[in-house]
Amino acid sequence: MPSFYANTVNELAKLLARRKTIVFLVLTALVPIAAAAAASRLQFGFGVAALTSADFPVILLGFYTAVYLPLLLFMTASDMFAGEAGDKTMKLLLTRPITRFQAFASKLAAMLGYTALHLAIAFVVSVASLLFLGGGGAVVQGLGRTAAAYVTALLPLFTLGLAAAFIAQFFKNGSGALTVCILLYASAKLGAYFVPALAVYTPAAYTDWHMLWLGASVASGKILNVFMFLAACCILFFTGGYTLFERKQY
């Protein structure tokens, strides 16, 4: 357990030491500010509605979970596994007093923490932007459900991260793994429009899972079904990814 914790901290430190990580964290904070500034200039339609209700942070969350954070997760997983395999730095990790299971799990834990950090920044900045632009009443009224939406968004995002970690085991360079992850995700998203019946069988269809928690009456049955599906996907991707990671020669 100490090895797992130590390597999780080490992986997070490596992530935060990268220049592109800082750039993406700043970009995560700038998106709500830019969106609020642009919307405040509009005198009709979306701008007014977004800034006078608690829906503004939720609308932004839809963008984060559908586009921005999945791409970030694919990049992170590709760098952590395929990228380190290509750079021969994975071999250095495995020479430490740590099992392969702990190494694999700690990388995923670091990726989960990294995703949570982005969501926390997005939540704080989007709420602050709404407060600054005069939506204080709406913020107070909907703060609880907005916070719940951001927290629950972690599950489908982590599922995508596990899928990316699984795919990355088949590659020896980060760029190849990233390209395939993006293509598969885009295909799954686009396929939902052409074959809706198949969409429910891919984790990519549930990036808006947080919306189920925002209604006047929570659809507990549907939430449970989606939760069980995503949990099953997490188990499958984790098991498959670890099996490949454990057998791989570095």
- If one compares 117 and 201, the residue with the highest pLDDT of the two is 117
pLDDT band at 120 (very low <50, low <70, confident <90, very high): very high
What pLDDT is stored for residue 198 in this prediction? 75
Q: What's the whole-number mean pLDDT along residues 50-56?
A: 61
Which of 20-34, 44-58, 97-111 is predicted least confidently?
A: 44-58
Tell me the C-alpha distance between 9 and 242, whole Å. Answer: 20
What pLDDT is stored for residue 43 in this prediction? 47
Tell me the C-alpha distance between 71 and 65, whole Å. Answer: 9
CB 237 within 8 Å of CB 160: no
Residue 119: closest CA among 160, 164, 76, 151:
151
What pLDDT is stored for residue 62 in this prediction? 92
Q: What's the whole-number mean pLDDT along residues 146-160?
A: 93
Q: Which DSSP string do the residues of 44-108 spell out, in sequence order? A: STHHHHHHTSTHHHHHHHHHIIIIIHHHHHHHHHIIIIIIHHHTTHHHHHHTSS--HHHHHHHHH
pLDDT tens for 181-231 read 999 999 998 887 888 777 778 899 899 888 887 765 566 778 888 999 999
What pLDDT is stored for residue 77 in this prediction? 94
Hey, what are 226's tokens? Answer: 């989606």
Helix (H) or strand (E) holding 153: none
What pLDDT is stored for residue 50 in this prediction? 47
- If one compares 214 and 138, the residue with the highest pLDDT of the two is 214
What pLDDT is stored for residue 1 in this prediction? 66
What pLDDT is stored for residue 217 in this prediction? 59
pLDDT band at 53 (very low <50, low <70, confident <90, very high): low
Q: What's the whole-number mean pLDDT along residues 232-242?
A: 96
DSSP state letter for 210:
G
What pLDDT is stored for residue 19 in this prediction? 92
Residue 6, pLDDT > 60, answer yes
- If one compares 54 and 160, the residue with the highest pLDDT of the two is 160
Q: What's the whole-number mean pLDDT along residues 130-146?
A: 70
- If one compares 153 and 48, the residue with the highest pLDDT of the two is 153
What pLDDT is stored for residue 194 in this prediction? 83
Q: What is the mean pLDDT of the chain?
A: 86
Q: How far apart are the first and last CA of the chain?
A: 24
Residue 74, pLDDT > 70, answer yes
Q: Is the pTM of this model over 0.75?
A: yes
CB 175 within 8 Å of CB 86: no
What pLDDT is stored for residue 199 in this prediction? 75
Residue 107: closest CA among 158, 66, 151:
158
Tell me the C-alpha distance between 238 and 191, whole Å. Answer: 24
- The contacts of residue 216 (CB under 8 Å, 6+ apart) are none
